[in-house]
Structure 1
Amino acid sequence: MSALWAWIILAAVVGTSVIVVEGGRRLVAGRMSHRWPGAGRVARRCTAPAFAFAVVVSSSTAMPYQFIGGHAEDAVRHAMRIAAIGASTWLVLRIGYALSDPPLARLMRIEGERNRRARRARTQMMLLRRIAAVIIVVLAVGAALFTFPAVRAVGAGVLASAGVAGLVVGIAARPTLGNLLAGLQLAFSDALRLDDVVVTQGIWGRVEELTLSYVVLQLWDDRRMIFPVSHFTEQPFENWTRHSSRLLGSVELHVDWTVPVEDLRAELYSALKDNPLWDRREWMLQVVDVLPSGLVTVRALMSAADSASTWDLRCDVREHLVSYIRDKHPEALPRLRVGPEPVVDGAGAGVDDPAPATEDEVAEGRHADGARAVPREDGPARAKSLRRA
């Protein structure tokens, strides 16, 4: 067989493999997608690696190595083996991701009471997928390296001293291995999940990404705070959505003693009934403290479905109560009292009233504070003097 025919056969084999892959893609993305909607997405994600795999495998099978000759033949064979390993790894990873994406998408759409279990399953599935991808890539790289004779000799020596090598690698990769184990611990102990609302080191955020090495928190202002996974196994943190996303929010107001608590309580309930953020689970208004400045602390409690709704509901209630007190009961606004408070005695006179003058002070025409003393009139005598005036 001539070299021309050998290369023509190679081109025909490669073209046939490409046509077969294209026919399979059209079949899966067309007819099968009507019965299984996810089949089209799988076909689209696997198209590129499937073509690469078909071309590499068919080329490696039909390649006329005898017409290459010399050292080039060994180099081409070696390159084709490495290319086949790479294409196979790419295809396997894409198939795994394409098959696991639909369940993950369904888990993201689950709301309500089942949301906690769905987020747990999604977190574990994503970590397992990442671990599987890392293992597949490591095995592929190892298989490609072992196609070199020198590496195979080194590998045999490493296997002979596996204990020492494992100890050295373990010491060198201790932080990486620690984060890997911490990520698995977080995922399967249900201590942290995707979309959990957590507070750590005074920072509030939502878990946006959880990998084997780091955790990404999305903050309220759309910034991203990145922590190593080991931080959440070594440091305490608050998880606001561990068992349920529902939360209680509180609003505190410092008002005067004259505040009508019952009216304020009724107004709070009226405001909550008209607010769609309130989940109608809990509400309360109490006087929780009395301050030395002559004010009282009123605390309103209300429940909401999640942390974001709780924050907005607290702001709405705070604004409503402030407006209500200002417009309806301005006498209850906080006031700063300066000077001693009047102390009422048994007769109804306070310390601010001048004390009655004694007989000597009346005779001398003066009072104890230097003012002119006037005899105090009580009863009918005082009334008679007022009528004369």
Structure 2
Amino acid sequence: MISFDEFLRIAEAPLRTWPGALGVAALGVVFALGVHRVGARILTRIARPYPLMSVVLRYINKPALVLLIILALAFVIFEAPDTLPLIGVLRDLATVALIGALTFLAVRSAGAVGEAIVQAHPLDTENNLHARRMHTQARVLARSVMVVIVIIGIGGALMSFPSVRQIGASLLASAGVAGLVAGIAARPVLGNLISGLQIALSQPIRLDDVVVIQGEWGRVEEITGTYVSIRIWDQRRLIVPLQWFIENPFTNWTRNSSQIIGTVFFYVDYRMPLAPLREELERILEHAPEWDGRVQVLQVTDATERSMQLRVLVSSFDSGLNWDLRCRVREGLIGFVQAAYPQFLPRTRADLSNDREHVEFAPPLDRTGPSMPSGKVASTANTAADPVASRGERSGPDPAAHSAASTAPGASTRNGQRR
């Protein structure tokens, strides 16, 4: 009966020469391929009822194959005798390749977990706030973990060489200076990495958020490990470093909800009645699919020397719909005024007179009454701010109008009286 030592001696015999070692390596690669194919079929059948597990298996399929092949080759290389030419160099390369394969598998595994979370929370839902939060956390954290894994893998590969370990030992003697230089050199990288973790946890922005950055309106299209890509409405891309979002203020229209209120401003003549405009606004919104039924307001917000400013507030489910709704309301109200009240569109007035004409404006009102002592005047200032004194009527002030204005419930008075 053959002993175990004799079996090992017979098994190691082909490895003493390069042709025999190559033959054993080829057999090892074939064995690795067979193990991968059988294992992949078994795991795929097990994961078929679980879509998320299927995503993970799809991501790690190729890294697992590469790792099995490198393991088979590394086994042959490390089992070969030391007398084989160039075996030391091949062992170093096999160590680096094995660390690289493990890093590749770990990176793909982190990406697979992030992609599985993303697919479990689709964005094509009516209220996708939670989905966008999960997308942001999964993508940013997965990429941060990938960066850390790659750094560890590169460090492990470099430390496998004795010369690099000696250099590292010598650098430890001047760790203070080296740490300062490395910190200054790596500040942008580390700053963006830490900012990425802050964005993933606190989430000032999320994927598909609507933001306004330095006057540019757009949606968050991608969050990488170093920058954020903003898709502007005209299909340009605004690239912003991650650290900028932590250090600078910006506007987020979808921080808590995608619902938004939009404004429409337009100008009409002072004589324009508002009731027909409000009725027309209601009719327009009833037939507008972009309106969510929450806000419908028409108000006079300003009065200039030529016209009055009207502001319309309308609400929609998101900013894109609200933009279309604002355009619809603006076009509808302007068309309504043009068709029904064209005489009340904004006008520029001018009083033209030749040298022969003399316009008699009303004199200032006599503020002294019969009950006032002689020489005393009313406490109301006769200035241009006085709504009565500032009226210049050609035929003089109307006493009846002045009396009605003075006795109106909302008439403006002085000395802290009712307004």
TM-score normalised by the shorter chain: which range applies? 0.7 to 0.9
Counterpart residue identity of residue 48, structure 2: H
Structure 2 counterpart of 1:62: 76
Amino acid at match of 1:333: L
Quote the residue 2:305 is aligned against: 292
Q: What's the counterpart of residue 197 of structure 2?
A: 184
**Correspondent of 1:306 among 310, 318, 333:** 318
Call closer, same or farther: CA 1:246–1:226 in 2, change over 3 Å: same
Displacement of 1:153 in angstroms is 0.5
Determine the structure 1 residue equivalent to 2:159. Answer: 146
1:28 shift after superposition: 2.9
RMSD: 2.5
The equivalent residue for 1:81 is 95
Instruction: Give the match for residue 233 of structure 1.
Output: 246
> What TM-score, normalized by structure 2, do the two folds share?
0.76
The question of 1:137 aligning with 2:156 is answered no
Query: 1:34, 1:180 → 2: CA distance?
Result: 36
**Conservation of the 8 A alpha-carbon contact between 2:52 and 2:120:** no
The residue type paired with residue 118 of structure 2 is: L
* Number of residue pairs matched by the alignment: 345
What is the Cα deviation at residue 173 of structure 1? 2.0
**Equivalent position amino acid for 1:151 in 2:** V
**1:112, distance to aligned residue in structure 2 (A):** 4.4
Matches within 5 A, 1:212-251: 212-251=225-264
| 1:322 aligned residue | 334
Distance 1:343 1:56 in 2: 105
Please state how far the C-alpha of 1:16 moved relative to its aligned partner. 1.2
Q: Which runs of 5+ in 2 are unaligned?
A: 1-12, 354-358, 363-392, 396-419
Superposition map of 1:1-389 within 5 A: 1-2=13-14, 3=17, 6-29=21-44, 31-63=45-77, 65-66=80-81, 69-70=84-85, 72-109=86-123, 111-113=125-127, 115-293=128-306, 295-339=307-351, 351=394
Counterpart-to-counterpart distance in 2, 1:33 and 1:133: 25
**Structure 1 residue runs of 4+, over 6 Å off?**
340-345
User: CA, structure 1 residues 326+27, in 2 after alignment: closer, same or farther (shift >3 Å)?
Assistant: same
TM-score for the superposition, normalised by structure 1: 0.82
Q: 1:247: Cα distance to partner?
A: 0.9
Whole-Å Cα distance in 2 between the matches of residues 68 and 105 of structure 1? 54
User: Secondary structure at 1:51's aligned position in 2?
Assistant: helix
For 1:42 and 1:176, the matched residues in 2 are separated by: 29
CA distance in 1, matches of 2:177, 2:361: 90
Deviations 1:263-294 (A, max 9, x none): 1101101111111110111110111122101x
Mean alpha-carbon deviation: is it higher for 169-178 or for 223-232? 169-178
Larger displacement relative to structure 2 (52-61 or 6-15): 6-15
In structure 2, C-alpha distance between the alignment counterparts of 1:125 and 1:68, rounded to whole Å: 51
Residue aligned with 1:66, SS: coil
Q: Which of the pair is proportionally richer in helix? A: 1
Contact 1:28–1:39 under 8 Å retained in 2 = no
CA distance in 2, matches of 1:173, 1:129: 21
- Residues 249, 107 of structure 1: CA spacing in aligned structure 2 closer, same or farther, 3 A cutoff? same
* Aligned residues of 1:249 and 1:310 also touching (Cα < 8 A): yes
Distance apart, 1:147 and its partner CA: 1.5
SS of equivalent to 2:81: helix
Q: Distance in 2 between matches of 1:40 and 1:120?
A: 23
Instruction: Quote the Cα distance in structure 2 between the aligned partners of 1:130 and 1:262.
Output: 57
Distance 2:232 2:137 in 1: 23
Unmatched tracts of structure 1, length 5 or more: 353-389
For 1:151 and 1:332, locate their aligned partners in 2 and report how far apart those are by CA, in whole Å: 84
Look up the SS of the partner of 1:230 in the other structure.
Answer: helix
- The residue matched to 1:35 in structure 2 has which SS? coil
